[in-house]
A = this chain, B = another copy of it.
């Protein structure tokens, strides 16, 4: 299989798992379960669970057996988007090319749908933890990554530094936490379950997260709304602390190239047969959405 086929194979497995779990989300009040399903089934690259499956595969594990944790990863990512899009937060009307959750279901329901997706993710992590200690350890890694000293710290810093002076240190704090943690977690979790090197996996995930956010900032500045699926140019309007503001476009592009190279080096140390991850790095560097 070439890279595109391989990505599609993981993505299909992820989408199938999400579809099965989402089927269970039919309960009263309908508006709650519908708004959870609306955002969870909105598609997207599913890069976090794909990284998790690819990691398991590389370490010789049957990734299809780990759908609980794969869906948990995507639920956490999805809840963070639902809350992030709220008027009081980033105030975004579009997400993944569709109206954002609160635009369809109202703010109160979007808050609750986000809470419910987060709670559901943790319920899946507890369920997975019934298997053995490794699953519990993997779940705690994800829990830490998603929490107040992980992703949420990054979101908070992102808000805090909007419209304020801030330099490289603040920028990288946002990158590492807001984006990096939840890209690192799937690789660490795969390494834990597959007896790989957790530290090296984390190193790769961290650099990939920075690369991902650099290209995100670059795309927001020069991308095309239709391809990206969310409102672009907002970083500038809201005076977000981005790499463009700190380094300018040219140096940001160069930095992205440097991090892409760092990522490629990391792959060597983290996984034999890491060809898939090298291709992920190129995909992230060159993406136009």
Contacts and interface: CB of A to CB of B under 8 A. Distances in A.
A139 interface: yes
Interface in A243-289: none
15 contacts: A25-B148, A79-B115, A83-B115, A88-B88, A109-B159, A112-B159, A115-B118, A115-B152, A116-B147, A119-B146, A119-B152, A125-B126, A126-B136, A126-B139, A130-B136
Interface string A82-109: 0100111100000000000000001111
Contact of A126 (B109, B143, B148): B143
B112 A152 contact: yes
Among A114, A120, A149: residue with most chain B CB under 10 A: A149
Interface residues of A, number: 51
Nearest to A144: B123
B112 A36 contact: no
A42 interface: no
Given A123-B147, A126-B136, A89 B116 contact: no
A20 interface: no
A147 to B, nearest CB: 4
B118 A156 contact: no
A19 interface: no
Interface string A164-184: 000000000100000000000
Contacts of A89: 108, 111
Interface of A: 25, 27-29, 31-33, 36, 79, 83, 86-89, 106-109, 111-112, 114-116, 118-120, 122-123, 125-127, 129-130, 133, 136, 139-140, 143-144, 146-149, 152-153, 155-157, 159-160, 173
B123 A126 contact: no
A140 B123 CA distance: 7
Nearest to A35: B156
A126 B129 CA distance: 8
B148 A27 contact: yes
Given A118-B119, A123-B147, A136-B130, A28 B173 contact: yes
A136 B107 CA distance: 34
